Every structure is written in structure tokens, then in C-alpha cells.
Amino acid sequence: MRWARFVWLRRWHGLMGFGISSYVMLLACCVVLISPTSSEAQQSARPQPPNIVVLLADDAGWGDYSVSGNPYVKTPHIDSIAQQGVSLTNFYVCPVCSPTRAEFLTGRYALRTGVRGVSLGEERLNLDEQSIAEHFRKAGYRTGIFGKWHNGSQGPYHPLARGFDVQLGYTAGHWSEYIDAPLESQGRPVTSEGYIVDTCMNAAIDFISSSQPPFFCYVPLTTPHSPWCVPQTYWNRWKDRDVGLTGKEADAVRCVYAMMEQQDDAVGRLLARLDSLHLSSNTIVLYFSDNGPNTVRWNGDMRGRKGTVDEGGVRSVGFLRWPGHIPPGSTQTGLIGAIDLLPTLAGLANIPLDSAKPLDGLDVSTALLKNVPFERQQPLLSHWAGKFSLRSPTHRLDFQSRLYDMQHDRSQKVDLSTTHPEIASVMRQQLERLKTELLQPPATSQQSAQLDTADILKSPWLLPAHKEFLAHPAQDSRLYPVGYVSLPYTWLPARDGQPLGKIQRSSNAPNSSYFTNWNDDQSAVVWPVDILTSGAYRIELESTSPATAIGSELEISFQDSKLSVLISISHDPPTDTRQDTIPRPKAETLSKPFRRWQAGSIQLPAGPGLLTIRATQLQGSSIIDLKSINLILEEQRP
């Protein structure tokens, strides 16, 4: 390039009749102008950091892929990630959704991060944890999330406060609508069109297409988590097919496989877009699932499913491709877990990690690039519902202290604890050390604001329902923040509230539930909140009410602030039958379209307290079914 410029300058000199001294001076000036600085030269010499695309399935088991040997389902696009890269054959996640996501996001065991459940606030990632998106954004990446977050809904737990620049999807752990789903975009509610997997995948593809590399694109997919809903064209292919089972169980599995094939097509569209944009060669694509299968179905004869700490409940596929860097069709037999993904992706991308907290995960990048087995010295812990299991490179110690040889007995049929007592003893000691370390309460509170029980009991707005709440507080003591300035829209779903008196949840599972049986003036719903910013808040409700409830009044209160709300419009729609290809599990709420409406404004002081909704005037036998209350900060007050 410089030689071409030199020839051009000589020709220009001849045409313009410059003297040699003028020419030298002009050349010197041009060299100054066109020569890069040393730092620019170093940057241009460095290879372009790879883009990162992470695809996370929801409730898919290790056996739900044709590449795993499933005799029923075909997943060619997802399989291609393994065929063009590496398959992690001993890759482990958690037994349920939110802990796996926390471990991927932080590189630390979920029990360290504050994530101890899947709802009722226990799914929230502690505010002093650094996410993988924060690390990559600090390194210059544009970051986006498209799908299910499940690690906190309100700012600053929200993904837009945890390192993501762009967001479309939902923050809850379970979603009730898959067709024309109500979602949120950039922290605000939106109504989508079409099937939820396509909606989120299309947004991810648009993000990739519009982003200047490098980008970090996280696509936590919705399927095959229930409800059992899939586009009709996919169901038509599956509704009569053999899946190795009969009866209602067979229909659920048919729907799962239909969902997997739909998901596979969506993944194929994203991979095709990377190809068409000529980005595949410098994009790392990672695919895995968050736990074992959510029904009984083919899973390589492993014991356990979702919610268990046995092999079948925590083993996942792990596929990673990076053309030109990861040998195609390779396998990695080393013991690897979700906690290793953050340091490994950072290692592959040459991103420095300045984590304020020590990571449990290890950087496996060198083993992947060199195609050599990764040698892990410490075992991996699995935990759920008070049960613990430990996986070493060769053995599993289950929650009943039975020992199994995982190299020859993944089905966990032969207990070796008496024939190999030395191995069992070492693993029991390792497990006890980890349990002691991980089950300790955090050194400092993650949220300084706490409810003052004495003040609540003295307050003039005290209801019998409040006494009930104080007698049986929520398991998670962290309050729900309201009024985070960067995200002024605060969503408080029924999942996070506590029904008191006669009010009930619409289902046993809090996620996607709503409050119903609201027919007296002594019952209430409370949310233990911390108002971060004092000021004027607009109140928005998502609800349904029958015609007989018109004229009823609600009272929304927080400390001494109150807002009276009149129910003046009937909205009582039937169940949305589009959302169920086959009947959903009994624990899940049936879907219906809720009305989102403005209930008024209220001045709220900063500080902790109970946000309360109750009925003060009653008409008819049923007043309201409530899906959520949303508070929008409109004006800050000093």
C-alpha cells in the first residue's frame, strides 16, 4: 500500500513540476498522515476477536438429539455444530433452569451466587456477581440476549443491568404463552407475533446482522419446556408417530420432539445467516441445555431426569464450533461443567477476566484448541432440593452415598461403595467439604434494606393479612427493588407476590400464575419491596374482571401512601386455546389474555416496606384476577 502511494506521488510530482525539496517535504507530511501509530499498528496486527453465539435449550435432555443416538428425532442443524466442531461428552449442568444459567453467567457454583430456586425470588443472581456479558462488554463486545433470562426480573437484577445492551424475551422461569406471546423489549412490555422461538431467534439474527463485530449473542431458547405448544405443521408430523411410549406420556414426548425439530430449524436459520454474512469462520457457536429431560423419554438409559442429581438429570450435550481453530468432528472426554463456560469462552477469545470473586470454573480452551483430554482434578457438585451428588472424572457418588463407575455404568445399576470403599470415602469427604463451604450464609447482605417488622406492626395501615405475612415471611429475604432509575419500568408479577387470606394462586407453580378467588376486603396480596427512588409512580395492572365486578374498588398502598382504584370495565376472556397443542401439565396455569390498564399515580417514599393490594368495595362474587402490578417511575423527588 505504501509503495503504491509512493509511485502515485512521483507521478504527481512529474505532472505538477515540484522540485525535489518540495517533493520530500510533501512525502514526509503524507507519511505522517497515512502511517498508523504504533498502537494502531499493534491493533491491526492482532486477530479480530471472535464473535460469540450461545444457544441454550430449555429442558432438553442429553438424549433429545439425533447425534446422541436418539432413534426418533432428527436435529441436523444442532448436530452440525458438533460435527463441525467439538462434542463435550462429559458435560454437566444443574438439575433445573436458573442455577444452570447462574453458573454459565458467573463461572461460579449457583449456591454461591444467591440462586437457590426457580421462583419466589430465589432465582435472582446476587448484585455483586459479575456476568459473562459484563466481561465481554468491557472487552468491547456488543451484547444481546434473546429469550429466557430467569435470574431476576427487576432492575438491577434485570439483564439490561447485568451487561446486556439489547434484550428481547422474558425474565421469568416459565412462560404461559408461546403464540403471540407478551414479551418485553429493552425492559418494556411488547406483544410479539408468531411462535416464541421464532420471535426470539429472529431478534437474535437481526442483532447479528446489525452488529459491528465483535458481538456476544446469548439465545436462551424456550423449548422444549412446557406448556406443550408447537406450530401445527410440526405437530402434524408427530401426532401419530412412535416414540417408544403409549398414552398421555407418549403425546407429551411427541410434542417435545416436535418442539425440538422446530427449534432445530430455528437454529439452522441462525447458522445460515452467519454463513451469508461471512461470519462463520470467526464466530464461536456454543450449544447446550440447562438440565435433564422434563419427561420420561429416551435418554441413553441414564438414571434420572430434570430435578434429580443423578446422571440423567445433570448430563447435557455440549457442542462448540470455531472453524479453523477447533478440529471438526472432535470429542472432548474431560469432565466439564457449566461453571467452566465463562472462563473457557474468555480464554478462546483472549478476553482477560478481572473477576472480583474467585471462579469455580476452569479454562478448558487450551484442551479444546489442541484436541487433548482436559484433566480436571476436582469433582463437580450437583445440588437440588437438599440432595447432593458428586461427579469425578470416573465415578459418581449419588445423594444416598452410593458409588457408580461412570465409565462403564452410566445407568447407575451397580453400587460399588462396598467393593471400592477407598474411592467412596474420598468422594464423601470431598462432598462434605463442598457442602460446608457452599451452604454457609453470605458474608454480607446483598441488599442493605430490610423490612422493619416492629414498624409494620405499629402502622395504622396494618391489615390482618400483614400479620399473616410477618408470621410466615418469604423464604428469600431479599426485597424486590422498585424505581431503578436506568430501568424505570418495574414488573412485579404474581410470582413474586404473596397471597394472604382467601386469595389463591391459579396453580401450584408460581411462575406464570395469577391471583384469583378475590372476594373479600380482608384478603390482600403483598410484595416486600425496596423503593430505590422516591417520586411519582404510574401504576399499571394486568388483570381480568367479570361484568359483576364493575363498581368494586381496590386500594394500593405502601407505608402511608394510598391509591384508590375503581374497576369500571369488564374484561373476562376465555382460556386461550391456541396455547395448548395437547393439555398442559396440571401444575401449570391455563393461559388467558389479560388486560393491561392504567390505574393511576401514587407518590412513594424511598425505603423498604410492603406494597399491598386489597379490595375495599365489593361488587359481585369475584372482583379481579391479577397477573401483575407494574410501577413506572415518572418523576423523581428529592
Task: Mark whether 279 and 395 lie in a shared domain.
Answer: no
Q: How confident is the model at residue 28, as a pLDDT?
A: 36
Would you place residue 388 in the very low, low, confident or very high pLDDT band (cuts 50, 70, 90)? very high
Q: pLDDT at residue 182 above 90?
A: yes
| Residues 189-242: tens digit of each pLDDT | 999 999 999 999 999 999 999 999 999 999 999 999 999 999 999 999 999 999
39 within some domain: no
Decide: residue 537, CB within 10 A, 0-12 exposed, 13-18 middle, 19+ buried: buried
Task: Look up residue 426 and give its amino acid.
Answer: V
CATH number, domain containing residue 620: 2.60.120.260
Domain that holds residue 432: 386-439
14 within some domain: no
293 within some domain: yes
Task: Look up residue 253 and give its amino acid.
Answer: V
**Number of structural domains in the chain:** 3
Strands of the sheet containing 166-170, edge to edge, are: 188-191, 182-185, 166-170, 142-148, 215-224, 51-58, 283-289, 318-321, 86-88, 330-332
Residue whose cell numbers read 402502622: 459
Task: Mark whether 502 and 544 lie in a shared domain.
Answer: yes
Cα 481 to its chain centre, rounded Å, is: 19
Distance CA 464, CA 524 (A): 9
Q: How confident is the model at residue 460, as a pLDDT?
A: 66
Q: How confident is the model at residue 7, as a pLDDT?
A: 32
83 within some domain: yes
Q: pLDDT at residue 443 above 70?
A: no
Q: How confident is the model at residue 341, as a pLDDT?
A: 98
Q: Is 76 helix (H, G, I), strand (E, B) or coil?
A: helix
Task: Mark whether 470 and 595 lie in a shared domain.
Answer: yes
C-alpha cell at 306: 430434570
34 within some domain: no
Instruction: Report the pLDDT averaged over residues 300-324.
Output: 98
Main-chain phi, psi angles of 166, to 5 degrees: -130, 140
| Residues 453-469: tens digit of each pLDDT | 777 776 666 777 777 88
Instruction: Report the pLDDT averaged over residues 398-402.
Output: 97
Boundary residue ending a domain (338, 360, 379): 379
Q: First vs last Cα of the chain: how many Å apart?
A: 60
72 within some domain: yes
C-alpha cell at 221: 431458547
345 within some domain: yes
| Residues 107-130: tens digit of each pLDDT | 999 999 999 999 999 999 999 999
Task: Mark whether 118 and 265 lie in a shared domain.
Answer: yes
Decide: residue 453, CB within 10 A, 0-12 exposed, 13-18 middle, 19+ buried: exposed
Q: How confident is the model at residue 522, as a pLDDT?
A: 87
Nearest to 597 by CA among 541, 546, 538, 537: 541
Task: Mark whether 211 and 297 lie in a shared domain.
Answer: yes
Task: Mark whether 82 and 195 lie in a shared domain.
Answer: yes
Q: How confident is the model at residue 46, as a pLDDT?
A: 62
Q: How confident is the model at residue 468, as a pLDDT?
A: 80
41 within some domain: no
Task: Mark whether 278 and 145 lie in a shared domain.
Answer: yes
Instruction: Enumerate the active-site residues.
Output: 97, 150
Nearest to 204 by CA among 244, 146, 155: 146
CATH number, domain containing residue 117: 3.40.720.10
Q: pLDDT at residue 345 above 90?
A: yes
Task: Mark whether 427 and 352 lie in a shared domain.
Answer: no
Burial code (b: 16+ CB inside 10 Å, e: under 16) for 296-320 equals ebbbeebbbbbebbbbbbbbbbbbb
Distance CA 142, CA 453 (A): 44
Question: Looking at per-residue confidence, does 300 or 13 come out higher?
Answer: 300
Distance CA 234, CA 165 (A): 34
Boundary residue ending a domain (327, 348, 379): 379
Q: How confident is the model at residue 624, as a pLDDT?
A: 96
Asked if the peptide bond before residue 593 counts as cis, ω within 30 degrees of 0, the response is no
Q: How confident is the model at residue 463, as a pLDDT?
A: 73
Helices 247-276 & 196-210 angle (0-180, nearest 10): 20
Q: How confident is the model at residue 467, as a pLDDT?
A: 78
Q: pLDDT at residue 39 above 50?
A: no
Instruction: Report the pLDDT averaged over residues 569-591.
Output: 94
Residue whose cell numbers read 444442532: 78
Instruction: Report the pLDDT averaged over residues 560-576.
Output: 96
Instruction: Report the pLDDT averaged over residues 288-316.
Output: 98
Task: Mark whether 433 and 500 lie in a shared domain.
Answer: no
DSSP string, 339-359: GGHHHHHHHHHT-----SS--
Nearest to 222 by CA among 56, 58, 54, 102: 58
DSSP string, 80-94: HHHHTSEEETTEE--
Lowest model confidence (mean pLDDT) among 138-142, 213-217, 574-578: 574-578
Boundary residue ending a domain (355, 379, 403): 379
Distance CA 572, CA 574 (A): 7
Task: Mark whether 375 and 391 lie in a shared domain.
Answer: no
Query: What is the chain's mean pLDDT, rounded?
Result: 91
Task: Mark whether 149 and 294 lie in a shared domain.
Answer: yes
Q: Is 105 helix (H, G, I), strand (E, B) or coil?
A: helix
Task: Mark whether 574 and 545 lie in a shared domain.
Answer: yes
Q: How confident is the model at residue 445, as a pLDDT?
A: 46
Cβ(287)–Cβ(263) under 8 Å? Answer: no
C-alpha cell at 277: 454474512
